[in-house]
Amino acid sequence: MPKRSSLASPPARLLLPALIVVALGGCQTTGIEDVTGALGGKTETAGKTAAKSDARAEARPDMDALRERYRAKPSDPAIAIEYGKELRDSGQRAQAVAVLEQAVLAHPSNKALLAGYGRALADNGNFQQAFDVLGRAHSPEDPDWRILSAQGAALDQLGRNEEAQQYYASALKIVPDEPQVLSNLGLSYMLQNNLAKAEQVLGRAYQRNQNDVRVRANLALVLGLQGREAEAEILVKADLPPDQAAAKVTALRQVLAKKQQRADK
């Protein structure tokens, strides 16, 4: 398992507040500010993001039915995992934590439950607890690349970038050139203000999956931070309807402006 390292350098702390960490648990919006890697969430493609809110509205009856199933069998691990994920996806993060916490208390060695609980904790901003719980969700004898990457993402949010990069390296030994892991690794370098390295790694992720909205947003952000805003905007707007493209560009400019304001202080 990767060794523990020292806390992050000042540049990481400078950049981190500019990032709104919604995508950590796979709960994504259409904003460019959702730039951190997912903890095992679904990969978004350009054509799917716009329809997500409509799909959630249509799924409300299913959520009600799932809630009733959970109330009938609150200690059933499979139901708790499913219900917790739906709560996370609908933005009910604290409730997802509560549901999965109760299930873990009843089944403390259930690795699937622990993985879901760790992701819910990260969604809710409890990064140290998420890291610890995720560590119980797999073992060195049977490592899970998704959990290793998720642990790295949690460490990045704690400012422990070098340690996070060791977890990404472990994940990449299992799945070389996996775009989700490369995306997280690239952002980790960005948090250290190593923008050239971040661009290189995110470029690899983009080459592997050009349709992943999150990867494109991350690469665009790094390009923008290097002053290459025109390139970043082209990347952000690709394959999007005009209204969504405009919203993405506006969000990108807002994030870059916040970063510049902090750099000027």
The distance of Cα 241 from the centroid of its chain, to the nearest Å, equals 24
- pLDDT, average across residues 117-141: 93
CA distances from 75 to 64, 72, 78, 80, 142 (A): 18, 9, 9, 7, 26
Statement: residue 159 has pLDDT above 80: yes
- pLDDT, average across residues 98-110: 94
Statement: residue 160 has pLDDT above 70: yes
35: confidence class by pLDDT, cuts 50, 70, 90 = very low
Q: Give the C-alpha separation, 252 to 236, whole Å.
A: 8
58: confidence class by pLDDT, cuts 50, 70, 90 = low
The distance of Cα 93 from the centroid of its chain, to the nearest Å, equals 14
- Which pLDDT value is given to residue 23? 29
Percent above pLDDT 70 for the chain: 75
- Which pLDDT value is given to residue 237? 86
Among 43-47, 55-59, 191-195, 232-236, where is mean pLDDT lowest?
Answer: 43-47
- pLDDT, average across residues 75-82: 92
* Domain boundaries along the sequence of the chain: 10-43+142-264
Instruction: Count other C-beta atoms under 10 Å from residue 191's C-beta.
Output: 24
- Which pLDDT value is given to residue 265? 67
Statement: residue 33 has pLDDT above 60: no
Among 23-27, 38-42, 173-177, 211-215, where is mean pLDDT lowest?
Answer: 23-27
Q: Give the C-alpha separation, 199 to 224, whole Å.
A: 11
- Which pLDDT value is given to residue 25? 29
Q: Give the C-alpha separation, 186 to 204, whole Å.
A: 9
- Which pLDDT value is given to residue 214? 87
- pLDDT, average across residues 84-89: 92
- pLDDT, average across residues 119-131: 94
Among 9-13, 54-58, 158-162, where is mean pLDDT lowest?
Answer: 9-13
CATH number of the domain located at residue range(s) 10-43+142-264 in this protein: 1.25.40.10
